Amino acid sequence: QTSLSHRQGGRAGPPQLLPILALLPCLLPWQSDPPRTCPTLRSISSTPPGSCPRPAGDVLLQSAALLGAARVMCHCQRRGAQLLLGAGAHLHVYEHGGVAQVAGVHSQALQDLPDGTLDLEQLELAVREAHGSRYHPRPELICLENTHSSAGGRALPLAHLQQVHQLAERYGLRVHMDGARLLNAAVAQAVEPAQITQHCDSVSLCFSKGLGAPAGAVLAGSRAFVAEAWRMRKLLGGGMRQAGVLAAAARIGLEQAEATLRRDHSNARHFARGIQELQSPLCSVSLPAVETNMVMVAVPGGWPSPAELCAYMRAVSEEELAETGHAVSVLLFPWAAHTLRAVWHRDVSAHDTELALNKLGFVARKCQERLALGLGPGPPSAVRH
């Protein structure tokens, strides 16, 4: 049974395992992180997620969620500070309001444009209204997400990053890039990460997304920023003793990043083109919007809904095995009322992608047959799980 995971870090089946001998040189010299004596940890510091335009350093954290609060606390050290970001940003929607609960920072959410960028006029209006006001929170930080998950993995244009940074400088604000998938953006735009991060005051990168590590994230910025990040990490309980166990996996992920991400992007585009070629009324995709490793599939409404289509893609049947010769379970995610999402990671091959396309074709065909026969909503065939 073949599985395609909808989550970039999720595991639907057995993951790709590296030979233990490849990891031994990284794992043997484990030492504590706080004194910064672990050689493996120092090795990933020499392979940073991108160079900020200042003398830079970085700090390793166990997860991007822990990192979320730390990065805001480093920039916004006065209570009543304001963070400006997109309404669909991961930091705003999926991190339990940690910047308010833990950091005491107010979030001003602005509408995201379809490509994940912010409307610059609306951004400047929000900053200008609060700047120097006795009645508004003090705007101190703008956070950008690149690639933008809720926009389907879109890579933010370099010109937009420059414009946001210039706006921030005019009003004395700082810019942080939530670069959980920063390297996806760099590969998609064929640029070095430093060309992206030069427009930011700090940047974060997650090792457990497309890079394939089980955990870990890094926060980078100026030396003063990183010194404060170490303090905030300690405050939030993020200190580690044997940090090399995370750094080893992160190092392997960084070394293999370009080849891995290029393959993921290619597989995602192949899947999107295959949906277009199906020409099914049940689902469609905007090919220009597929820039990295995510495909947002439009499901027009009625039957099947995104949740129902995801359930049919996950289930397998004797009929499927007889017709296609495969029993394929594909894990997709019902993203919105009329959208489902597919995400590629290092454990999904080109062959897996082809099997997923064939499965979608089978499900779409069976659903259309039911509709043509006037049978109405229902499973496309008798299924077993």
Please indicate, yes or no, whether residues 128 and 108 belong to a single structural domain of this protein: yes
Please indicate, yes or no, whether residues 43 and 184 belong to a single structural domain of this protein: yes
Domain count, the chain: 2
Please indicate, yes or no, whether residues 248 and 270 belong to a single structural domain of this protein: no
Please indicate, yes or no, whether residues 41 and 157 belong to a single structural domain of this protein: yes
* Domain edge (last residue) among 223, 255, 287: 255
Asked if residue 299 is part of any domain, the answer here is: yes
If you ran DSSP here, which 8-state letter would residue 71 be given? H
Please indicate, yes or no, whether residues 162 and 176 belong to a single structural domain of this protein: yes
* Cα separation, 65 vs 54, whole angstroms: 25
Please indicate, yes or no, whether residues 332 and 222 belong to a single structural domain of this protein: no
Helix (H, G, I), strand (E, B) or coil at 353: helix
Please indicate, yes or no, whether residues 237 and 88 belong to a single structural domain of this protein: yes
The pLDDT of residue 247:
84
Please indicate, yes or no, whether residues 233 and 188 belong to a single structural domain of this protein: yes
Categorize the per-residue pLDDT at 199 as very low, low, confident or very high, splitting at 50, 70 and 90.
very high
Asked if residue 24 is part of any domain, the answer here is: no
* Cα separation, 364 vs 282, whole angstroms: 7
Please indicate, yes or no, whether residues 246 and 323 belong to a single structural domain of this protein: no
Residue 97 is part of a domain; what is its CATH number? 3.40.640.10
Asked if residue 22 is part of any domain, the answer here is: no
At 282-309, the pLDDT tens digits run 999 999 999 999 999 999 978 899 999 9
Asked if residue 308 is part of any domain, the answer here is: yes
Q: Are 69 and 99 in contact (CB under 8 A)?
A: yes
Please indicate, yes or no, whether residues 130 and 262 belong to a single structural domain of this protein: no
At 262-275, the pLDDT tens digits run 999 999 999 999 99
Please indicate, yes or no, whether residues 272 and 322 belong to a single structural domain of this protein: yes
Sequence-distant (6+) residues with CB within 8 A of 244 are 26, 27, 29, 30, 31, 38, 39, 40, 41
Asked if residue 169 is part of any domain, the answer here is: yes
Please indicate, yes or no, whether residues 229 and 267 belong to a single structural domain of this protein: no
Say yes or no to pLDDT of 8 above 80: no
The pLDDT of residue 380:
67
Residue 336 is part of a domain; what is its CATH number? 3.90.1150.10
Asked if residue 20 is part of any domain, the answer here is: no
Helix (H, G, I), strand (E, B) or coil at 261: helix
Asked if residue 21 is part of any domain, the answer here is: no
DSSP string, 211-257: T--SS-EEEEEEHHHHHHHHHHHHHTT---SSTHHHHHHHHHHHHTH
At 38-58, the pLDDT tens digits run 555 555 555 544 444 443 567
The pLDDT of residue 374:
78
Q: Are 305 and 340 in contact (CB under 8 A)?
A: no
* Domain edge (last residue) among 220, 255, 290: 255
Asked if residue 14 is part of any domain, the answer here is: no
Sequence-distant (6+) residues with CB within 8 A of 348 are 4, 5, 264, 267
Tally of residues, the chain? 385
At 111-129, the pLDDT tens digits run 999 999 999 999 999 999 9
Mean pLDDT, the chain, whole residue set: 85
Say yes or no to pLDDT of 6 above 90: no
Owning domain of residue 338: 2-6+258-372
The pLDDT of residue 153:
98
Q: What angle do CA 331, 346, 19 make, to 5 degrees?
A: 125
